[in-house]
């Protein structure tokens, strides 16, 4: 059977055209599937998916590393218009062929469920529309990537102002916050217009697929078999009941330490325990060298993975002009590597972001190297568990952020970033951030539930502003936004996922509660918690979400009671650490 080779370099992959790929798809379509050739046929299709996935990801990465690179944008659009659109049509026909055969490859039951779901969503009317939506969403990167502010005669990106937002000088914080927020608000009209176009596209995509709204479409597209929209609402209610009061208590303590009458938006990030912002590293090189030792203490394999990525130029971690905002990790399945993208500027949050994306990378490697994955269709895990790997890595690293000499392999000269006092503050800050994130996640997710079930209303940006403000006041009531109501109301403009990855946010919340369980398990048996997590990582997407959680020694929880256990443990740890400062 004709099958494409996966022994291809990056240059060879990017040079492939549809004429090069088409014969392989035609060969699969012209082959009658039988018990005798099922494994070979599915393997040939798997190889094609790997090739096309890597081409797609390399093009996308190129557009984000330099948002002004016209050639990169043109190459990506050419790929979408000439290759991806044809691949989707062939994939649908191949899916139908496999389902019609009624043959079930061993261990491929979940893969078949995913294929049935994808086949049910497919309609040729959406082929070009899905590509258009994908390309249109990248306009957000261009808008946000060009947001700069002049500071002391130099042009600074909005991200580069972040270190000044943790300054102990309140006037300086306010000045920088205003400059950043006002620059972002200047793009209000452009982002509103982009949002309306995306909403109209997404609504048409759902209607073309025969569904009531885009929420229904996205639920199926994301293979959310383990929970429902109603479960999400129960989860958000639990967060409001359990987490919001805990965060308010922490915010009140923060306000008292700052000695201010009211917390303002520019007071939320400053460190009030030490009076000085945490500064984990001075140079990008220092960050990359020291973090190896942290990864090694979690497990030596993780240090080896990171060193390989560093040597192979498989990450782009540091902020610069005309770089897309945010962070992500994408896979190169043919090459056998991931690629990570961030916008670090020297903050503690940047250190945690590198740990986070490291978790995604190590998940890829553990699945690739140790998983019994026969077909690429079984490789990618549910997003909710992919984020457990990332958030779990942040929490497993907390006990290793203190400075000390590296041991065992001697890969790094030193590891860790903080002295003893700073280390306690760093752990407190990380745990506080986790609790504060959960209500914010609820705002982002509930905003999207509303938008995609009320598409006509959501196509009026003023309605979006109102709903966002109401949700913000419900879940994040601790700061006084008087005089800055427009900036609060347009907070949805500053969350890239809403534009680029709709409904990809509840995953962070569910994963965070899962990662907290990994952390709690590690308090009693660190090596055992890491081992259980890695056993689950190796499974990739070959089993469902519930089984992945169970293998990692955790549970998928939507109710108040299990959330209360986690919040109590976090608050107790924060209290104990605070008493030592």
Rg (CA), the chain: 24
Question: SS3 helix, strand, coil % of the chain, rounded to 5?
Answer: 70, 5, 25
- Output DSSP code: residue 480: -
Give the Cα separation of 297 and 412 in Å (integer): 11
Token pair in block for residue 291: 């973090």
Token pair in block for residue 354: 């590198």
Give the Cα separation of 400 and 396 in Å (integer): 8
Q: Are 458 and 450 in contact (CB under 8 A)?
A: yes
Confidence at residue 204, expressed as pLDDT on a 0 to 100 scale: 98
The neighbouring-strand residues paired with 330 are 339
Which has the closest alpha carbon to 427: 437, 417, 439, 440?
Answer: 417
Mean pLDDT by 10 residues, the chain (581 residues): 90 97 97 97 97 98 95 96 95 96 93 94 94 93 91 86 89 94 96 98 98 98 96 98 98 97 96 88 92 96 97 95 92 97 93 97 96 92 96 98 64 75 95 97 98 98 98 98 98 96 94 98 98 98 97 97 98 97 87
**φ/ψ of residue 342, rounded to 5:** -145, 180
| pTM of the entire predicted model | 0.91
Q: Are 98 and 149 in contact (CB under 8 A)?
A: no
Q: Are 151 and 139 in contact (CB under 8 A)?
A: no
Q: Which residues contact 146 (CB under 8 A, 6 or more apart)?
A: 67, 322
Give the Cα separation of 397 and 416 in Å (integer): 10
| Exposed/middle/buried for residue 170 (C-beta within 10 Å: 0-12, 13-18, 19+) | middle
Q: Are 369 and 395 in contact (CB under 8 A)?
A: no
Q: How many residues belong to the chain?
A: 581
Sheet arrangement for strand 328-332 = 315-318, 337-344, 328-332
CA dihedral 191, 481, 468, 444 (to 10 degrees): 90
Which has the closest alpha carbon to 175: 154, 157, 151?
Answer: 151
Give the Cα separation of 305 and 531 in Å (integer): 17
Give the Cα separation of 141 and 144 in Å (integer): 5
Q: Are 370 and 362 in contact (CB under 8 A)?
A: no
Q: CA separation (Å) from 427 to 186, 238, 348, 399, 414?
A: 36, 25, 10, 8, 20
Give the Cα separation of 181 and 171 in Å (integer): 15
Q: Are 255 and 477 in contact (CB under 8 A)?
A: no
Q: Within 66-161, where are the H helices? A: 70-79, 85-101, 109-121, 127-137, 139-145
Confidence at residue 405, expressed as pLDDT on a 0 to 100 scale: 52
Confidence at residue 413, expressed as pLDDT on a 0 to 100 scale: 54
């Amino acid at each position: 059977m004709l099958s494409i080779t996966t022994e291809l370099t990056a240059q060879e992959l990017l040079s492939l055209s549809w004429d090069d790929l088409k014969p392989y798809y035609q060969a699969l379509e012209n082959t009658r599937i039988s018990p005798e050739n099922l494994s070979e046929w599915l393997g040939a299709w798997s190889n094609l998916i790997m090739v096309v996935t890597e081409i797609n990801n390399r093009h996308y990465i190129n557009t984000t590393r330099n948002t002004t690179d016209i050639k990169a944008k043109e190459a990506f659009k050419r790929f979408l218009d000439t290759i991806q659109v044809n691949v989707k049509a062939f994939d649908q026909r191949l899916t139908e062929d496999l389902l019609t055969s009624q043959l079930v490859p061993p261990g491929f039951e979940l893969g078949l469920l995913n294929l049935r779901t994808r086949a049910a969503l497919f309609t040729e009317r959406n082929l070009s529309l899905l590509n258009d939506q994908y390309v249109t969403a990248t306009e957000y990167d261009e808008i946000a990537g060009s947001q700069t502010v002049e500071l002391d005669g130099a042009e600074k990106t909005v991200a580069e102002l972040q270190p000044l937002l943790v300054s102990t000088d309140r006037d300086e914080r306010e000045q920088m916050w205003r400059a950043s927020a006002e620059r972002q608000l200047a793009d209000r009209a452009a982002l509103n217009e982009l949002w309306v176009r995306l909403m109209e596209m997404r609504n048409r995509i759902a209607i073309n697929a025969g569904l009531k709204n885009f929420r229904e479409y996205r639920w199926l597209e994301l293979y959310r078999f383990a929970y429902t929209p109603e479960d999400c609402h129960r989860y958000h209610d639990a967060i409001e009941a359990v987490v919001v009061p805990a965060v308010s208590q922490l915010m009140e303590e923060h306000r008292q330490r700052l000695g201010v009458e009211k917390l303002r938006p520019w007071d939320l990030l400053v460190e009030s325990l030490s009076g000085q912002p945490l500064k984990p590293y001075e140079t990008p090189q220092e960050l990359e060298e020291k973090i190896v030792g942290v990864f090694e203490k979690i497990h030596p394999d993780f240090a080896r993975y990171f060193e390989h990525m560093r040597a192979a130029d498989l990450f782009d971690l540091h902020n610069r002009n005309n770089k897309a905002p945010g962070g992500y990790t994408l896979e190169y399945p043919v090459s056998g590597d991931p690629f990570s993208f961030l916008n670090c500027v020297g903050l503690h949050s940047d250190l945690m972001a590198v740990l986070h994306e490291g978790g995604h990378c190590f998940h890829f490697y553990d699945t690739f190297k140790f998983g019994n994955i026969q077909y690429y269709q079984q490789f990618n895990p549910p997003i909710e568990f992919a984020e457990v790997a990332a958030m779990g890595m942040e929490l497993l690293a907390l006990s290793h952020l203190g400075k000390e000499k590296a041991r065992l392999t001697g890969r790094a000269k030193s590891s860790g970033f903080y002295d003893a006092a700073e280390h306690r503050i760093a752990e407190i800050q990380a745990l506080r951030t986790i609790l504060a994130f959960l209500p914010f996640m609820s705002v982002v997710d509930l905003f999207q539930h509303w938008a995609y079930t009320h598409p006509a209303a959501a196509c009026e940006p003023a309605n979006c502003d109102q709903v966002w403000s109401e949700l913000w006041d419900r879940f994040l009531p601790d700061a006084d936004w008087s005089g800055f109501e427009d900036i609060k109301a347009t907070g949805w403009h500053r969350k890239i996922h809403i534009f680029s990855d709709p409904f990809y946010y509840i995953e962070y919340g569910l994963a965070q509660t899962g990662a907290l369980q990994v952390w709690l398990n590690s308090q009693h048996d660190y090596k055992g918690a890491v081992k259980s997590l890695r056993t689950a990582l190796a499974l990739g997407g070959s089993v469902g979400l519930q089984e992945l959680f169970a293998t990692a020694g955790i549970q998928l929880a939507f109710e108040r009671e299990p959330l209360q256990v986690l919040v109590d443990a976090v608050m107790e740890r924060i209290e104990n650490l605070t008493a030592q400062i």
